[in-house]
Amino acid sequence: MKEPIIKFENFGFQYDAQAEPTLKDINLEIYPGEKILIAGPSGCGKSTMTHCMNGLIPFAYPGESTGKLTIQGKETKHLSIFEISRMVGTVLQDLDGQFIGLTVAEDIAFALENACVGQDDMKKTVRQVARQVGIGDHLEHSPDALSGGQKQRVSMAGVMVNEVSILLFDEPLANLDPATGKKAIEIIDRIQEETGAAVIIIEHRLEDVLWRDVDRIVLMKDGRIVTDAPPDELLSTDVLLDNGIREPLYLTALKYAGVKITPKCHPRGIRSLTLTEEDKHKVRTWFHARKLAKEKPEGKALLTAEKIDFTYDNGFHALKDINISINEGELLAIVGTNGAGKSTFSKVVCGFEKQQLGTLTFQGQDMKSYSIKERADRIGYVMQNPNQMISKPMIFDEVAFGLRQRNVPESEITAKVEEVLKICGLYPFRKWPVSALSFGQKKRVTIASILALDPQMIILDEPTAGQDYRHYTEIMEFLNELHGRGITVVMITHDMHLMLEYAQRAVVFSGGQVIANDTSANILTNPEIIERANLKETSLYDLSLLCGIEDPNVFVQHFIDYEEEGRDRQAGGAAAQNDRKEEKRG
């Protein structure tokens, strides 16, 4: 009988700085060649369990463990971090924090240099592994010059040179565009097949991971394993939603149509999904019973970009003749491939970069003479990497920083900061240092610091990256509420779910140009735009074709409208409940 390559037995772990254990009574066996997806809400213990497997606990994060953890039959408490690294390779969520070498080749070779491998063997291994992950043509490039997808391939190569038996991927899709994320999952799948390594993926974007089969999904909550089951079994229940994880969109649509999800219909992926004729009929009936919602009238133009052109000092032509109008009170998505110009456009709008050609107007006024501060009074900007924004050691002080710079009275600051911390799910951590937070929690801190300033327009670069479904929903519902009050919200995102669910309109960038300006449904059912902009067709499109629906874009729009109606019903119910509470108090 095959022995497990990783085995947790009644395992628990408590950080020295925490009053309660983070992991409790973990029992888990992972076998050679298995591919496991570990999912769960933020703070459930996924990252802590990963750190226990790769040796960062206890060597980087001290604490006390109970029970037993063995890797390849050896108990980890008797192993050094170097010995563990020879068995377990980790690709971090923060790719920039993993690079050491000045070139791609140097970075891949780092572990081999530590092991004193000879130059000839080292170069041969580096070239071989680089070819495996598709980065062989970039060995002389600096890691800083690579796209997000290329950086991830370098990180994969850097851990593969050790010929490890276990590969850990910590949120590998968090900073990748949809098509690159799809390729990343395909590469991980191919590496697993070629090497026979056990693969463990920690990820919130469950539907994207399931583009390729996994053997089991391990679901965690509050430091415990809630479920450990094959995907077909797990996706036939409501366990994901009950524990704060978004289920695949095609399953949500099937449930709206009254289709019962069972393991027999193979719900683990849209490609494996098997529906009866009765099921397909239910979907078509739901579709034909719906009517398109009335189009909302366009608001007055708030920000207008005309013929914007921008080239970096190194000669990279990032923006080419950009013409965009963003309306008052609009919720807009800006999407496209990595390096398409999305973030550069936002930097030009905020004044961090100066366009060489073209005009930007805000409420009809030319912004040419506006300083960065004057722009910041009108437009808030939340960067993709929270570490580039945070300047204070404590969470409360970071969120209060902008208000204090504006000389707001301290009593008002306290009330405002506590309000936005509650909205962003950070109120329990208000007295914590920022350094104690995860990447996703730091992201929420930066959003809170901008929301505290009440801008007329807010630009968010990947607002939900690294967020679980509950926090994703809380942040987006708050942004939706701001939008409902007339604040303009612009989201730069790779998350097609977010784009479908919340954006009234989407602008698509590719190669520094705007190639589409349309509804999310029309964009994500247009194969030409999807291919040019490295997007990914929504699984709703595939579901509509599977069920014989001739208008997939209309089907997708019906789904969007139905979701919005559901959110409105929930909001209305919550408001009515609050009103009844107020009446009772009165």
* pLDDT tens digit sequence for 191-222: 888 889 999 999 888 898 999 999 999 999 99
pLDDT (average), residues 87-104: 79
Higher-confidence position of 106 and 9: 9
Higher-confidence position of 334 and 496: 334
Q: Is the pLDDT of residue 398 over 90?
A: yes
Q: Is the pLDDT of residue 400 over 60?
A: yes
Contact 23, 12 (CB under 8 A): yes
Higher-confidence position of 147 and 580: 147
**Local confidence band at 575 (pLDDT 50, 70, 90 cut-offs):** very low
Higher-confidence position of 5 and 134: 5
Q: Is the pLDDT of residue 582 over 50?
A: no
Alpha carbon dihedral 496, 144, 119, 87, in 10-degree steps, equals -40
* pLDDT tens digit sequence for 223-276: 999 999 999 999 999 999 888 788 999 999 999 999 999 999 999 999 999 999
Cα separation, 586 vs 582, whole angstroms: 6
Higher-confidence position of 48 and 579: 48
Contacting residues for 94 by C-beta, under 8 A, at least 6 apart: 439
Please tell me the predicted confidence (pLDDT) of residue 131: 83
Q: Which of 162-166, 227-231, 279-283 has the lowest mean pLDDT?
A: 162-166
Cα separation, 418 vs 448, whole angstroms: 10
Nearest to 541 by CA among 550, 553, 529: 553
* Average pLDDT score over the chain: 87
Please tell me the predicted confidence (pLDDT) of residue 238: 92
With a pLDDT cut of 70, the percent of the chain lying above it is 94
pLDDT (average), residues 107-126: 84
Q: Which of 282-296, 403-417, 480-494 has the highest mean pLDDT?
A: 403-417
3-state secondary structure 4-28: CCEEEEEEEEEECCCCCCCEEEEEE
Q: Which of 36-45, 219-228, 375-384, 464-473 has the lowest mean pLDDT?
A: 464-473
Stretch (H or E) spanning 331? strand 331-336
Please tell me the predicted confidence (pLDDT) of residue 285: 96
Please tell me the predicted confidence (pLDDT) of residue 94: 65
* pLDDT tens digit sequence for 287-314: 999 887 777 767 789 999 999 999 998 8
Q: Token digits for 277?
A: 């004729």
Written as one string, the DSSP assignment of 204-264 is S-HHHHTTS--SEEEEEETTEEEEEE-HHHHTTSSHHHHTT-PPPHHHHHHHHTTPPP-GG
